[in-house]
């Protein structure tokens, strides 16, 4: 990737789809989104980007666990006591995690199996149907693969070349509140290196990487909302960038370069 490539868009249009039904296990997201496009006379075009909420991807992929079926291990029982959490939930968190980063009463911060540092390994109960018991929703098994599969589905059925981003709301070190972030991408740049690009006064930027996919994800999150809005898909039109497509895993800082964790001894 050239160090002089950057985003070329001067105008972006974000449109939230409001008519999608509740998604269940095994649902075809491509068909649901294309049906919504037909219903709203919104034709997808080459170069469009679809930002899709993690929850509906996880639901469609069957990433649902009923806590009634979980038997907590001894390690989960100990951690549940110190964190004041359901031991069954803690067991699922441990199964989805590489490392416990921090924990206190009411909070468990982990590096989940995707390498992302976040609370509870990204496991959530909000906007999950609880009719069948204490159900929790896990992150997609491979968000980049999910994006690639969805993108391929739009190519085959609608004959359009769109980008796909799966986003979620993540907490951030040293910042209050959550913000949208990209878990997976396909057909769009994830991380753009602007090192060497001149600033307004001709000075070359030295170390400047832009998390393009995260910025698209965060902007889309404003329209999606966090509660009962029911807008899990946002169409982004007008996005142009010279950089090569990337992957969500490009956004994960490796532990050896992470200055915010305690040094490995």
pLDDT digits (tens, 9 = 90+) for 38-69: 999 999 999 999 999 999 999 999 999 999 99
Angstrom distance (rounded) from CA 148 to CA 239: 18
Q: What mean pLDDT is predicted for residues 185-205?
A: 85
* Secondary structure of residue 12 in the 3-state scheme: coil
Q: Where in the chain is the domain with CATH 3.30.1330.100?
A: 13-63+139-255
Helices (H) and strands (E) in the chain, counts: 6, 12
Q: What mean pLDDT is predicted for residues 225-254?
A: 89
Give the architecture (CATH level 2) of 13-63+139-255.
Answer: 2-Layer Sandwich (3.30)
Q: What mean pLDDT is predicted for residues 87-99?
A: 96
Q: Report which of residues 80 and 4 the model is more confident about.
A: 80
Q: What mean pLDDT is predicted for residues 197-213?
A: 82
Burial (0-12, 13-18, 19+ Cβ within 10 Å), 178: middle
* Secondary structure of residue 73 in the 3-state scheme: coil
Tell me which of 24-33, 74-83, 228-237 is least confident. 228-237
Q: Where in the chain is the domain with CATH 3.90.1660.10?
A: 64-136
* In the chain, % of residues over pLDDT 90: 74
* pLDDT on residue 2: 39
Instruction: Tell whether the model's pLDDT for residue 188 goes beyond 90.
Output: yes
Taking the complete model, does pTM exceed 0.85, yes or no?
yes
- Residue 263: pLDDT band (50, 70, 90) is low
CATH fold of 64-136 reads: CofE-like fold (3.90.1660)
pLDDT digits (tens, 9 = 90+) for 131-176: 656 899 999 999 999 999 999 999 999 999 999 999 999 998 888 9
Cα 26 to Cα 92, 133, 190: the distances in Å are: 22, 19, 28
pLDDT digits (tens, 9 = 90+) for 105-123: 999 999 999 999 999 999 9
For the chain, give the number of residues: 265
* pLDDT on residue 132: 56
């Amino acid at each position: 990737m050239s160090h002089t490539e950057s985003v070329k868009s001067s105008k972006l249009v974000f449109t939230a789809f409001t008519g999608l039904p509740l998604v269940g296990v095994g649902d075809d997201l491509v068909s649901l989104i294309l049906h919504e496009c037909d219903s709203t006379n919104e034709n997808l075009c080459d170069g469009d980007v679809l930002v899709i909420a993690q929850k509906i991807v996880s639901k469609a992929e069957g990433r649902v666990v009923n806590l009634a079926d979980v038997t907590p291990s001894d390690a989960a029982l100990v951690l549940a006591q110190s964190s004041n959490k359901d031991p069954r939930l803690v067991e699922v968190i441990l199964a989805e995690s590489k490392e416990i980063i921090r924990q206190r009463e009411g909070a468990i911060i982990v590096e989940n199996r995707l390498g992302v540092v976040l609370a509870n390994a990204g496991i959530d109960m909000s906007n999950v149907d609880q009719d069948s018991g204490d159900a929790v929703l896990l992150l997609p098994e491979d968000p980049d693969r999910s994006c690639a599969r969805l993108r391929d589905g739009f190519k085959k059925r609608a004959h359009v070349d769109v980008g796909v981003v799966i986003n979620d709301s993540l907490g951030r070190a040293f910042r209050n509140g959550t913000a949208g972030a990209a878990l997976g991408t396909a057909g769009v740049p994830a991380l753009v290196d602007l090192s060497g690009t001149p600033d307004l006064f001709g000075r070359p930027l030295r170390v400047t990487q832009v998390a393009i996919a995260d910025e698209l994800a965060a902007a889309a999150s404003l329209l999606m909302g966090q509660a009962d809005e029911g807008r899990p898909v946002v169409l982004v039109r007008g996005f142009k960038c010279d950089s090569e497509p990337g992957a969500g895993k490009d956004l994960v800082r490796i532990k050896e370069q992470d200055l915010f964790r305690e040094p490995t001894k």
